[in-house]
Amino acid sequence: MAMLRQGGSATDAAIATMLALTVVEPQSSGIGGGGFLVRGTAEGGVETFDGRETAPAGATPDWFLDPNGEVPPFAESIKSGLSVGVPGNVALAAMAHERHGTLAWATLFEPAIALAREGFRITPRLNRSLAGTTDRAGWTESGRKLFFDSDGQPLPPGHLVVNEELAQTLEAIAAGGPEVFYRGEIADKLAKVVAAETPREGAMRTADLASYEAKSRDAVCGAYRGYRICGMGPPTSGGIAVLQILGQLERFDLAALGAENPVTWHLFVESQRLAYADRELYLADEDFVPVPVAGLIDADYIARRSALIDPQSAMPSVEAGVPAGASVALADGDEPEERGTSHFAVVDARNTMVSYTSTVESAFGSGLMSGGFFLNNEMTDFSRSPHIDGKPVANRVEPGKRPRSSMAPMVVWDPEGRPLLAIGAAGGSTIPVQTARSIIGVIDFGLDAEDALAMPFAMAYGDAVLVEQGTWLEGAIPQLKAIGHAKVGARKVGLKANAVLNRNGRWIGARDPRIEAQIVVP
């Protein structure tokens, strides 16, 4: 808001938010990670920016395999220099600011620098995250000094954290631009930190940082009930998955079925199953793998996939389809569940929408710190197995490649072409489902943003279905089983979506109400 009040653009405000979250939400995102930014204008223009991390030049398909060629326990891969990709958020911010910033670059850093130098108070959520990942958040001396007491216990809610090292890092980038991050002292230190914890040849080098480039990508766009919806394409799977989920549901009258009808949620789950089957097989960095993007979002292909959905019966099994352009025989990899991430949505006085998802992957990333910030573990978003049953995995490790993501920043225009909604989420593989569910809430059920984000959650994991514990969906488990979903279970879910929605000419921001109020214990 400080950026907007100074006349800044939505892009300025989104960048300033990413920088501030480096300080106050280190478990989820920041300059040690990467992200995707989608920008939509009042006139319908759309641009997408790719700041996804890249694999070091020395990384090979067998990057994570042990000396016997086996995949080791996941913890050994994540808490290691092997897991750190070249961070992309600073380069993304610089590219987006050069094109659409109105405030000075250094101005965007002022709130983050103040938070780091003057301190911020630990929230209950950060305290819980520290307690749940002590071995990673407190792996390095820097992490222990910032967030733990002399007995090794996480500092309590309300404790003031001052991060002078990060303040100095941010000041340097603010004064010298992105070059300061990717070349020179900051880059040298970062590469050394990663190399010291990388148990094989090919560790990150300063040349890997110096050669990093953010990219402007083609947006993926589609229509749903007359609304135009655009998002990020590969290397994220999120935009395509959201468009497929919605497109496959368009032939069903969800509004007539109603938001509290088990059939509505059965249809939603079935559409997810189809979209995620395609995701697992085809989605990866299209600079390395021929991803059939046009075929995957083609209306006729989506209609054929939709025809597999029966309102009265669950599909016994689901396989990936064969979209146009799918000419390469690939295998489904063994990527682990994603965990971290932040999302923020902004609109400015020009009705320009920006949806930005930023991440360090797991909570506190790799646990390694450099310059006062945590380094990502995005390399573990690759499949650690390069081949499955003799077939290459699309999302295998390769030098300079960007790992597949689930992030799904999206922007929406109404049937008259007016900006309506900027939305996205955090929460790993749940991101496309959270985002599609909330878009359905707005379009089909006419909900306000917070009510749409608050809708119950249901997600398919193969032939198993998870429903959110404590919601009416938990009581609908017998009905879902009667439709044919044999494996249905309920549990609490960590959801974290954000949106700005235009209702009757007024923009209203909202977050998932499951996120507790950031009240600090004095």
pLDDT in tens, 437-453: 999 999 999 999 999 99
Q: Are 334 and 388 in contact (CB under 8 A)?
A: yes
What kind and span of H or E run contains 442?
Answer: helix 431-443
Sign of the CA dihedral with 132 first, then 383, 403, and 191 last: positive
Q: Are 344 and 16 in contact (CB under 8 A)?
A: no
Task: Report the distance separating Cα 64 and Cα 79, nearest Å.
Answer: 12
Number of H helices, E strands in the chain: 21, 20
Task: Report the distance separating Cα 378 and Cα 52, nearest Å.
Answer: 9
* Polymer length of the chain: 522
Task: Report the distance separating Cα 174 and Cα 109, nearest Å.
Answer: 6
The single-letter DSSP state of residue 70 is P
Three-class secondary structure assignment of 263-277: HHHHHHHHHHHHHHH
The binding site for L-glutamate comprises 52, 381, 405-406, 428
Bridge partners, residue 33, by sequence: none
Task: Report the distance separating Cα 146 and Cα 165, nearest Å.
Answer: 10
Catalytic residue among 123, 140, 341, 352: 341
DSSP strand E in 318-427: where? 342-347, 353-359, 369-370, 373-374, 387-388, 391-392, 410-413, 419-426
- One-letter amino acid of 82: L
DSSP string, 490-509: EE----EEEEEEEETTEEEE
Task: Report the distance separating Cα 348 and Cα 422, nearest Å.
Answer: 12
The single-letter DSSP state of residue 119 is -
Q: What is the pLDDT of residue 438?
A: 98
**For the chain, which residues score pLDDT lower than 50?**
517-522
Taking Cα atoms as reference points, which of 218, 376, 210, 207 lies closest to residue 287? 218
Task: Report the distance separating Cα 401 and Cα 196, nearest Å.
Answer: 22
Q: Are 402 and 396 in contact (CB under 8 A)?
A: no
For domain 1-237+283-289+328-451+493-522, the CATH architecture is 4-Layer Sandwich (3.60)
Q: Are 327 and 291 in contact (CB under 8 A)?
A: no
Q: What is the pLDDT of residue 522?
A: 34
Sheet holding 464-468, edge to edge: 458-461, 464-468, 487-491
Distances (CA, A) of 74 to 29, 70, 380, 462: 21, 12, 9, 21
Taking Cα atoms as reference points, which of 312, 325, 340 lies closest to residue 133? 340
Q: Are 406 and 280 in contact (CB under 8 A)?
A: no
Taking Cα atoms as reference points, which of 317, 335, 223, 341 lies closest to residue 279? 335
Q: What is the pLDDT of residue 392?
A: 85
Q: What is the pLDDT of residue 86?
A: 98
Task: Report the distance separating Cα 408 and Cα 426, nearest Å.
Answer: 9
Annotated active-site residue 11? The verdict is no
Task: Report the distance separating Cα 87 and Cα 49, nearest Å.
Answer: 14
Q: Are 73 and 334 in contact (CB under 8 A)?
A: no
Bridge partners, residue 386, by sequence: none
Q: 158-181 burial by CB neighbour count: b if 16+ within 10 A, else e?
A: ebebebebbbebbbbbbeebbebb
Q: Are 50 and 231 in contact (CB under 8 A)?
A: no
Q: Are 310 and 269 in contact (CB under 8 A)?
A: no
Task: Report the distance separating Cα 158 and Cα 155, nearest Å.
Answer: 9
The binding site comprises 52, 381, 405-406, 428
Distances (CA, A) of 81 to 132, 198, 202, 203, 230: 21, 4, 10, 7, 35
End-to-end CA separation in angstroms for the chain: 25
Task: Report the distance separating Cα 164 and Cα 160, nearest Å.
Answer: 13
Secondary structure (3-state) at 146: helix
Task: Report the distance separating Cα 330 and Cα 393, nearest Å.
Answer: 6
Distances (CA, A) of 446 to 259, 421, 439, 441: 10, 13, 10, 6
What kind and span of H or E run contains 464?
Answer: strand 464-468
